[in-house]
C-alpha cells in the first residue's frame, strides 16, 4: 500500500513539496488542492491528482480525500489561512500527519499547540502565487 499525501497550495513551496515527494516516493498517491485553475492544471501535468477548491472548505477537502490522507502538507501563502486549513483538516482526519509551512516564526507555537505535527518556516525566497 502506498501513502496518500495531500498538498494544499501549489505555489512555489507546494510545487517543491510535490517534486520532493515524487522524487522520493514515486508510488505515493499524491493529491493537490488549490484555488487557482492554472495551478490545478500544472499539478496534473506534474503527475498529481488535482482538485480545484479551497482548503478551508469541507467539501473541497472531502473531494481531495483529506479523510484518508496519511499526510497533509499545508503550503499556502498566508499563515492565518494555513491555520484555518489545519483546523478544517483535523475533524476529517484526526490521525493524519499535518505539516504546515508558515512565514512568521511567532506563529509556530499556535500551530504546534493545535496538533500540527510539523511546522516549517518558509524560506525567504519562496514566492507564492
pLDDT tens string 10-44: 999 999 999 988 889 888 899 999 999 999 999 99
Flag whether the pTM goes above 0.75.
yes
85 lies in some domain: yes
127 lies in some domain: no
Res 112: pLDDT = 76
Q: 20: domain CATH number? A: 3.40.50.720
Query: What is the tally of structural domains in the chain?
Result: 1
The mean pLDDT value for 44-72 works out to 96
- Domain range for 50 is 4-121
Res 27: pLDDT = 86
89 lies in some domain: yes
Q: Per-residue pLDDT tens for 75-125?
A: 999 999 999 999 999 999 998 999 988 888 888 788 777 666 666 656 555
23 lies in some domain: yes
52: Cβ contacts below 8 Å, ≥ 6 apart? 34, 35, 37, 40, 60
129 lies in some domain: no
128 lies in some domain: no
111 lies in some domain: yes
User: 91: left (phi > 0), else alpha (psi -120 to 50), else beta?
Assistant: alpha
Res 68: pLDDT = 95
Whether 67 has a pLDDT exceeding 60, the answer reads yes
Amino acid at each position: 500500500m502506498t501513502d496518500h499525501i495531500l498538498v494544499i497550495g501549489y505555489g512555489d513551496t507546494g510545487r517543491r513539496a510535490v517534486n520532493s515527494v515524487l522524487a522520493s516516493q514515486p508510488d505515493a498517491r499524491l493529491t493537490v488542492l488549490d484555488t487557482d485553475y492554472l495551478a490545478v492544471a500544472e499539478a496534473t501535468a506534474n503527475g498529481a491528482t488535482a482538485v480545484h477548491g479551497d482548503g478551508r472548505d469541507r467539501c473541497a477537502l472531502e473531494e481531495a480525500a483529506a479523510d484518508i490522507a496519511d499526510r497533509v502538507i499545508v503550503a499556502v501563502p498566508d499563515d492565518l489561512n494555513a491555520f484555518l486549513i489545519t483546523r478544517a483538516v483535523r475533524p476529517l482526519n484526526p490521525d493524519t500527519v499535518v505539516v504546515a509551512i508558515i512565514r512568521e516564526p511567532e506563529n509556530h507555537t499556535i500551530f504546534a499547540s493545535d496538533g500540527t505535527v510539523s511546522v516549517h518556516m518558509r524560506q525567504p525566497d519562496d514566492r507564492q502565487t
